[in-house]
Amino acid sequence: MSCPRIEVDLGKIRRNTQTLVARLGPRGIGVTGVTKAVCGHPAIAQAMLDGGAKGLAEARIGNVQRLRAAGLTGPITLIRTPMLSQADQVVQSCETSYNTEVLVISALAAAAIRNGSVHGIVLMVEMGDRRDGILPENLADIAQMVIQTSGVALKGIGANFACLNGGAPTASQMMSLCDLANEIEGGCGPFLRIVSGGNSANLPWALGERTTGRVNDLRLGEAILLGVEPVSGDQIGGMHTDAFTLVAEVIETDAKPSPSPIALIDPTTDRLRIVTTSGASTRVILAIGHQDTDILGLSMPIGSTLIGATSDHLVLGAPRPRPTVGSEVRFQMNYNALMHAMATPDIKVKLLGSPPTWLSQRTQSKVDHLALV
């Protein structure tokens, strides 16, 4: 079987989605499944939809086009501010996009008019993450501009947390977002259909004891795919954390002499210091490296220790019994490792469970590095 590969349990992704939909639904919050970490893989996206996600969200237009080429016709939202150069592609592939720039919104409006459609606009508000977003004091003016522009329609507002600064949202911040939604409606007129409170980092707040107010949508990727809460890294109760497994092949397994002491320059003193390195006497080398994934985001198999990695090699202290050349070693991945591995052309994807019947050979050939194996 092809190596390296990622084995994907579609049933676990579907059940993770179902669990979150069931818990958030009674609180008035719908789930939008985010597929950017899996490069818009159609079968994984369909598993989210089968689990009850009301729609999909992507950050890259190429991934959206991959989903459309596979036959997905449901709503897909572009959640990264569109590139000005891709306005026509965004309008043709996405019903809605998240926006922060007036110039881009104007370009989307012109593209929508050329396309004979109306493009939905969700305005992203800066609520403390310091990444993308309109300052709250400027939101009303930009909302009014959207309302007055032909070719686009104001659908809602959204915020983002714990991506750049790593801080989980507070109840106060979420209440402020709800207040902004009320202010926009009071000042500009139209009802905001979407108040998107954030991502997987919002789950402790959304499932807590406080009211969730106007927030009616969360954009969930990491929680669905890996079953964990991003800020703490803790498993979410009742969720599967092993829907994805990275499998690599052993290409060498031999005893190695202990490395000799080496001289390094201490950057704090600019002086040479002698460092004695220690390592396992028996090492296993796998055909995978930094070019393939985030090595530090891999969970080492029981009995193995990470010795180091280069661009194309991963070196482990060998467990007992020692793996043989040609055998396989399996790893769990965190979000960064998954995202990197899914985007690597040399890593194939094997779908476990029941892949959707519409995932035809024609579709697979268009995304060969994400094909079934």
Which residues does 151 contact at the CB level (< 8 Å), separation at least 6? 108, 109, 110, 111, 112, 113, 117, 118, 119
Smallest CA-to-CA distance from 95 within 110, 73, 63, 70 is with 73
Show the domains of the chain with their CATH numbers. 9-226 (3.20.20.10), 244-342 (2.40.30)
Distance between CA atoms of residues 78 and 94, nearest Å: 7
Distance between CA atoms of residues 67 and 89, nearest Å: 14
pLDDT in tens, 251-303: 998 766 665 555 556 555 555 554 444 544 588 999 999 999 999 999 998 88
How high is the pLDDT of residue 30?
A: 97
Distance between CA atoms of residues 94 and 81, nearest Å: 12
Phi and psi at residue 101, in whole multiples of 5°? Answer: -115, 130
Mean per-residue pLDDT pooled into runs of 10, the chain (373 residues): 94 97 96 97 97 97 97 95 97 97 98 97 88 91 96 96 74 93 89 93 90 94 95 91 97 72 57 49 89 96 91 88 91 96 96 73 42 38
pLDDT in tens, 323-345: 899 999 999 999 999 999 999 99
Q: Of how many residues is the chain composed? A: 373
Distance between CA atoms of residues 145 and 122, nearest Å: 13
pTM of the model: 0.87
Distance between CA atoms of residues 55 and 33, nearest Å: 6
Mapped onto helix, strand or coil, the DSSP state of residue 206 is helix
Distance between CA atoms of residues 5 and 354, nearest Å: 18
Cis, peptide link before residue 4, omega less than 30° from 0: yes
Distance between CA atoms of residues 89 and 61, nearest Å: 7
How is residue 340 annotated by DSSP?
H
- The total of other beta-carbon atoms located within 10 Å of residue 32's CB is 22
